[in-house]
Amino acid sequence: MSASDPELVRLVGLWTAKAQADLCLAELALELADPCPFDLVCYHAQQCAEKYVKSYLVSRQIDFPYSHDLRFLTGMIEKIIGAPFCRETSALSVHASRTRYPFEAPDPDRAEAERCVDLSREVKQAVLALLQNDGFPIARQA
């Protein structure tokens, strides 16, 4: 299968649509007056980045383990492209679980939430560029 395979294009589109939905939620939540649920902003930013990364792995028909570890997942992309890929995003991995459950760690603040959203946007742009270079049709995503 390749970018000319309609089923693969559909699957990649499903992954990117879910990723974009997470980003939209994170961005909307940041617009809330305090007290904003910054932990949930960080969680959805992490989910956005994870799903965009996985969309690229799907496009290359690479099986990936059930993992939220962005360092590991982006490492899989780095092996494909032979170059570093959004190294800073590994900082998002902690938000895959820390923000979903009550831990003793302090909740993130606005600055951390904004940083997480910015990182997820970087992943989005990088993945969409890779997909486009591979010939996948990229629908306009806000």
**How many domains does the chain fold into?**
1
Q: What is the CATH number of the domain that holds 49?
A: 1.20.120.330
Least confident of 5-19, 73-87, 111-125: 73-87
Is residue 12 situated within a structural domain?
Answer: yes
The pLDDT tens digits for 13-70 are 999 999 999 999 999 999 988 788 999 999 999 999 999 999 999 999 998 888 888 8
Classify residue 103: in a domain, yes or no. yes
**Is the pLDDT confidence value at 141 over 60?**
no
The range of the structural domain enclosing residue 61 comes to 6-133
Scored b (16 or more CB within 10 A) or e, 79-110 reads eeeeeebbeebbbbbbbbebbeeeeeeebbee
Task: Tell me whether the omega of the peptide bond preceding residue 106 falls within 30 degrees of 0, making it cis.
Answer: no
Check residue 106 and give its pLDDT: 81
Residue 139 located in a structural domain: no
What is residue 107's predicted lDDT score, i.e. its pLDDT?
85
Within-domain flag for 61: yes
For residue 138, tell me if it sits in a domain.
no
Q: What is the pLDDT of residues 54-109, one digit of tens each?
A: 999 999 999 888 888 889 899 999 999 989 888 788 788 878 777 667 766 788 99
- Domain-located, residue 29: yes
- Stated pTM of the model: 0.91
Asked if the structure places residue 50 within a domain, the reply is yes
Per-residue pLDDT, 99: 65
Q: In this structure, is residue 142 part of a structural domain?
A: no
